[in-house]
Homo-oligomer: A and B are copies of this chain.
Amino acid sequence: MEEWTVKVNHCAVKKEKPQTDQLEFGRIFTDHMFVMDYSEPLGWHDARIVPYQPLTIDPSAMIFHYGQSVFEGLKAYQTPEGTIQLFRPEKNLQRLNRSNDRLCIPAIDEAFILEALKQLIYLDKEWIPSAEGTSLYIRPFIISTEPYIGVAPSHQYKFVIILSPVGAYYKEGINPVKIAVENHYVRAVKGGTGEAKTGGNYASSLKAQETCSQKGFAQVLWLDGVEKKYIEEVGSMNVFFKINGKVYTPMLNGSILEGVTRNSVIQLLKHWNIPVIEEKLSMEKLYQAYLDGELEEAFGTGTAAVISPIGQLSWEDKDLMINNGTTGELAKSLYTTLTNIQYGKEADPFHWVEKVSEAYAVK
């Protein structure tokens, strides 16, 4: 809403920033954070940027009991010229509102939040690392805070955005991983919350992840919860397969997260005149393609890794070695093009990039 403004309370002392080699994912946070509250009849109100600080919440608050929460993940990039860029942030905010709807959380004003986010980023812009592959990870999230332990949608919420400088995902170049098809645990099911970005989906995935890690796999490939036949996601990424020159990815079905990177990869492939097929994709079909020598590449897509090649896929007693366990040409091209656009090193034909200019400097 146009009349909204963000109050700003600057931190007294700026924290020391990490060296590039100290950067990992999600452990260090910047000097400020954005906070906004929801209560009735006020609605969303009191939008503010404040020093990064702990949240003080009643132990009866719903978030601690019934998991009513949603989140997003996106990044800010620094170009070689020092410009700050976001990558399709409106897609994340649209998805946040779709998640809100599924979780009975009141919608946020996407345009206002994007403005507020840019102010926050500009204020903490010194935290955006500049080394190859580094970025500023942005984590918006909403938690239910009503101090009431009845099972019902909360009447109070807190919307928070925190920022974390992160290191390069691939420190030694893009590398393929070993994946196990998960036959026991299920991530999500039609009619559940699989297409929402909500905590419960991730909580329920931990056990499968722990079990596969112990067996030496990086992630699991999730099958559908109904028939355990159809491919859904890999770890917390969407998944793509190149089969005989065409690219296949599971179609959105209500239990698969609609990834922003997934959407961007599909657009890029179409732009390159590579056929993309979104369909209900079974492990049987994939295995047959493998036996026929037609499974050329497999990779996950997500904000953190951008493209994560799959070198080996373990399914029941079978081991599928893909592209000799090396990164395929298509995965490499997608990774290079997407990151080049994100870092402003290549033209942006789709207008995906949004600059965070000096106009967002806090007065």
Contact = CB atoms under 8 A, between A and B. Distances in A.
A150 B54 contact: no
A55 interface: yes
Contacts of A193: 200, 203-204
A139 B143 contact: no
Task: Identify whether the interface residues of A are mostly helix, strand, loop, or mixed.
Answer: loop
A111 interface: no
Contacts of A152: 206, 209
A190 B186 contact: yes
A67 B104 contact: no
A55 B143 CA distance: 14
A266 to B, nearest CB: 24
A210 interface: yes
Contacts of A162: 59-60
A201 B200 contact: yes
Contacts of A109: none
Contact of A189 (B67, B68, B209, B225): B225
Nearest to A102: B207
Interface stretch (A26-34, A240-248, A355-363): A26-34
Interface residues of A, number: 67
Contact of A203 (B68, B71, B148, B190): B68
Copy number in this complex?
Answer: 2
Contacts of A199: 63-68, 199-200, 203
A202 interface: yes
Interface string A225-245: 111100000011000000000
Given A203-B199, A207-B104, A64 B63 contact: yes
A168 to B, nearest CB: 15
Contacts of A187: 192
Contacts of A147: 27
Given A192-B189, A206-B152, A225-B192, A64 B184 contact: no
A329 B60 CA distance: 37
Given A25-B150, A162-B59, A66 B203 contact: yes
Interface of A: 25-27, 29, 33, 52-60, 63-69, 71, 102-104, 137, 139, 141, 143, 147-153, 160, 162, 164, 184-193, 198-207, 209-210, 225-228, 235-236
11 contacts: A26-B148, A29-B60, A67-B199, A68-B206, A104-B206, A104-B207, A151-B202, A193-B200, A198-B204, A199-B199, A199-B200
